[in-house]
Structure 1
Amino acid sequence: MTNRLQGSLCTKIDKRLAIITFGHPNANAFPLELLERLTQEIDKLSENNDVSIILLRSEGNKAFCAGASFDELLAINNEEEGKRFFEGFAHLFLAMYRCKKLIIGRVQGKAVGGGVGLIAALDYVFATEALNIKLSELSLGIGPFVIAPVILRKAGQATLNELFMAPDQWKNAYWAQQKGLIARVFENTNDMDEAIEHFIATLLKSNPIALQEMKRITWQHTEHWPQELIANAAISGKLVLSEQTRLMLEKLKNK
């Protein structure tokens, strides 16, 4: 039986489309086990010749992804445990970077921290007007070190600065679209899902080798990521042990 607190992950494959749905009862947050399962699933689908496109989505009709699990952050007792947890996000982003298939995102609501990084690591993103994003790490006494290179690649230095220096400010879907983090915004999920269906149907008519080559080209100049993201995970793993971070996590958890 699946441990509810470790989240859920389901993949359906139909007509060369793989749909991955992840979920967690705490606003689709990521404990380490779920990060690792999603990473393994993307690596597996990358090598699946029956799949040309991946659609990534989360459960429910509220939050898209709350980022790191506060419960697991509070359970970290030493730097090695901290590094391993944040490496979970690093390895997920690296799997998305090396995946041979385009990964399309369906975003129905808010995204925080690692959830914003996840959006930035997607190749093309659909969202509803309910999307709001923020990087809250600085207010917790840490920083978006693993997420930063992913956002920098997708949206540039100015966007990264605006997000990480204003950890208490939500940015709406149209702001995210203007900055290049998402491609299209819809009033509701029905309209979004219709557009996704049409978009993917058009892509699936394309030569799968051409799609793979375009994926490779659009991810050029990220060859340094395996070293950088792992090194940045160690920084977060150390800072999460600070008294300031512990107090802020406890406060937010008990809200």
Structure 2
Amino acid sequence: MQYETLGVAFADHVATVTLNRPDVRNAFNEKMIAELTSVFGLLDTRDDVRAVVLTANGKAFCAGADLNWMKKMAGFSDEENRADALRLAQMLAAIYRCRKPVIARVNGDAYAGGMGLIAACDIVVAVETARFCLSEARLGLMPATIAPYVIRALGEQASRRYFTTAEAFDCATALRLGFVGEAVPEDKLDATVRQIADSLVTNSPNAVRECKRLVQDVAGRAIDEALIEDTATRIARIRASDEGREGVASFLEKRTPAWRAA
């Protein structure tokens, strides 16, 4: 898996995808967007991958859109702008919809679209010094394609503020608002991410996939008869699955489940 703007590495059932444009603070352009869409689509199909870490080289996580790319977009027609925006939206969807849990290892600042990348992930671990900003309004723009993910992660009330003020905020604020799940010193970042990844790969791969899908499907839905029926169907189906049967049997027999030896 060779890419111009990304690094991809594999170890112990974990794939690490690294944004690799540190000279521009890992800002994304059309090439990075295409490569991120591609790599998450491929990782989604690999049975040997049970978790994905998304991180970056350099001091910043992602500064959002590359300025040269934005300059080029200024001359696009309406149709070209729509197509370009759709590619960005599809990249975010590829991360969000990836059936493997995705950990954002936030090694530094995340601005604009960089916050969208983080919000599309499932688990967020950030260095305490990271700063965050939805800066689009300063440029006469709005964070439209990232909005479905950021609003879910940041919350509606906080999104109203930071979308419109374009204020930067620190990691402590991001942690308080729930955008970041865990904030750690730089020297603890790798160990913390590794511990979470180890927990993920220890569990049933099928159960992890289904749990991720469950949260996405249930969040925000009314607790009505349709939802009650849906959740009952899901647990009945997974109880009868191969890994469901193996998990219960291994627990009762006090042995290691088969997926840990795979």
1:35 Cα offset (Å): 0.7
Contact 1:18–1:53 (CA under 8 A) maintained in structure 2: yes
Q: Which runs of 5+ in 1 are unaligned?
A: 223-255
1:83 Cα offset (Å): 2.0
Confirm or deny that 1:201 pairs with 2:198.
yes
Confirm or deny that 1:162 pairs with 2:158.
no
Counterpart in 1 of 2:185?
Answer: 187
Task: Give matches, 1:1-255, under 5 Å.
Answer: 8-24=5-21, 25-60=23-58, 62-76=59-73, 77=75, 78-167=77-166, 169-188=167-186, 190-220=187-217
Contact 1:97–1:219 (CA under 8 A) maintained in structure 2: no
Alpha-carbon distance between aligned partners in 2 of 1:196 and 1:112, rounded to the nearest angstrom: 21
Q: CA RMSD in A?
A: 1.8
Contact 2:103–2:124 (CA under 8 A) maintained in structure 1: yes
TM-score (normalizing by structure 1): 0.80
1:183 Cα offset (Å): 0.5
TM-score (normalizing by structure 2): 0.78
Larger radius of gyration: 2
Is the partner of 2:7 in helix, strand or coil? Answer: strand
1:88 Cα offset (Å): 2.8
Count of residue correspondences:
216
Structure 1 115/7 Cα, relative in aligned 2: closer, same or farther at 3 Å? farther
Q: Which runs of 5+ in 2 are unaligned?
A: 220-262
Identity %: 30
Alpha-carbon distance between aligned partners in 1 of 2:179 and 2:94, rounded to the nearest angstrom: 19
* Amino acid paired to 2:170: N
Alpha-carbon distance between aligned partners in 2 of 1:58 and 1:86, rounded to the nearest angstrom: 23
* Amino acid paired to 1:67: G
If asked which structure has higher relative contact order (CA below 8 Å, sep 6+), I would say: 1
